[in-house]
């Protein structure tokens, strides 16, 4: 009887241990499945947001306006400027299409796309404003990765809200890239009319640019931060303070992501 009792107790304890182990295993599998599901949802949202960014960057209005500018230069017999526009537009289109297939692209390619976009817009607006680019000398763009088409809406916003409605002379946009130990800081500064005055000008294109471009940046940053907790991305868009002059400043902080060598 003692042997039978001990055997029953041991069997009971063994079964309880097995049940506890199975429950723990099932709970771990459930949590893992939930985590994978969240990652898939976030990845899907990120893909949708990136697609919106592509549509915003290569929207029909931008394409039509560039082609219309090329036609105007041809009619005016300025074949050199027309040819330059064609080359820049073709190079930009290729970069955007190639970069759109990846969630992270080489920083030097993205920087080149930003410069091409700005140069096209400067030419299209008959040099109504200038756009300069500055990179901190210590930054090696070839070693870094960036989310594609995340900075471009900031330049577009500066052009369509600050520059195109400004009657002042020496209108200028400055795009700079600086770094800390773990982050990259993009700054887009203009000396245009500022956000308050821009809101008073209720043009269709301005409202559309603000709603698609800036909203897309905020959406992508939110998703990006869900997937990367260590060094969260940050975005700030504000009017310049009185000691900074007229215009708007946009700042975008991103964690450093290095290319695998």
Q: Are 248 and 146 in contact (CB under 8 A)?
A: no
Unique residue bearing structure tokens 């009887």: 1
Residue burial 198-219, b: 16+ Cβ < 10 Å; e: rest: beeeeeeebeebbebbbebbeb
**Dist. CA 83–CA 80, nearest whole Å:** 5
Where are the domains positioned within the chain?
A: 32-255
Mean pLDDT, 10 residues at a time, the chain of 261 residues: 67 72 76 64 54 54 77 82 87 81 85 92 88 94 88 88 82 94 93 80 48 72 74 88 87 89 66
What pLDDT, on the 0 to 100 scale, is given for residue 115?
93
Q: What tokens does 172 get? A: 């200028």
**What pLDDT is stored for residue 14 in this prediction?**
73
What pLDDT, on the 0 to 100 scale, is given for residue 207? 40
User: pLDDT value at position 217?
Assistant: 81
pLDDT score recorded for residue 94: 86
Q: Which residue has the tokens 């909203």?
A: 215
Work out the number of other CB atoms within 10 angstroms of the CB of residue 236: 10
Give me the pLDDT at residue 175, please.
96
CB 164 within 8 A of CB 125: yes
What gap in Å lies between CA 193 and CA 130, rounded to an integer? 15
pLDDT the model gives residue 211: 44
- Residue 139 is predicted with a pLDDT of 93
Instruction: At 34, list the tokens.
Output: 């939930």
Q: Which fold has domain 32-255?
A: Heat Shock Protein 90 (3.30.565)
Q: What is the CA radius of gyration of the chain?
A: 26
pTM, whole model, 2 decimals? 0.73
> Nearest CA to 95 among 136, 35, 139, 54?
54
Neighbours of 68 (CB within 10 A): 10
C-alpha–C-alpha distance, residues 164 and 171, integer Å: 9
Torsion angle of alpha carbons 85, 87, 92, 94, nearest 10°? 150
């Amino acid at each position: 009887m003692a042997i039978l009792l001990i055997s029953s107790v041991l069997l009971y304890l063994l079964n309880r241990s097995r049940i506890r182990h199975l429950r723990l295993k099932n709970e771990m599998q459930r949590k893992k499945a939930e985590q994978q599901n969240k990652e898939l949802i976030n990845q899907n949202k990120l893909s949708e947001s990136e697609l919106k960014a592509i549509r915003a960057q290569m929207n029909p209005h931008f394409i039509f306006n560039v082609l219309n500018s090329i036609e105007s230069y041809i009619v005016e017999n300025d074949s050199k400027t027309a040819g330059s526009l064609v080359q820049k537009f073709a190079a930009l289109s290729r970069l955007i299409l190639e970069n759109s297939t990846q969630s992270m692209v080489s920083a030097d390619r993205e920087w080149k796309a930003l410069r091409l976009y700005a140069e096209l817009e400067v030419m299209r607006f008959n040099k109504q404003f200038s756009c300069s680019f500055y990179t901190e000398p210590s930054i090696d763009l070839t070693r870094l990765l960036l989310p594609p088409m995340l900075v471009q809406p900031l330049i577009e916003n500066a052009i369509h809200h600050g520059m195109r409605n400004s009657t002042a002379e020496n209108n200028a946009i400055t795009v700079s890239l600086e770094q800390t130990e773990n982050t990259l800081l993009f700054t887009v500064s203009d000396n245009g009319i500022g956000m308050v005055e821009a809101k008073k000008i209720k043009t269709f294109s301005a409202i559309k640019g603000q709603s698609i471009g800036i909203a897309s940046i905020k959406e992508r940053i939110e998703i990006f931060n869900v997937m990367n907790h260590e060094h969260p991305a940050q975005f700030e868009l504000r009017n310049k303070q009185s000691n900074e002059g007229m215009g708007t400043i946009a700042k975008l902080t991103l964690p450093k992501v290095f290319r695998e060598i």
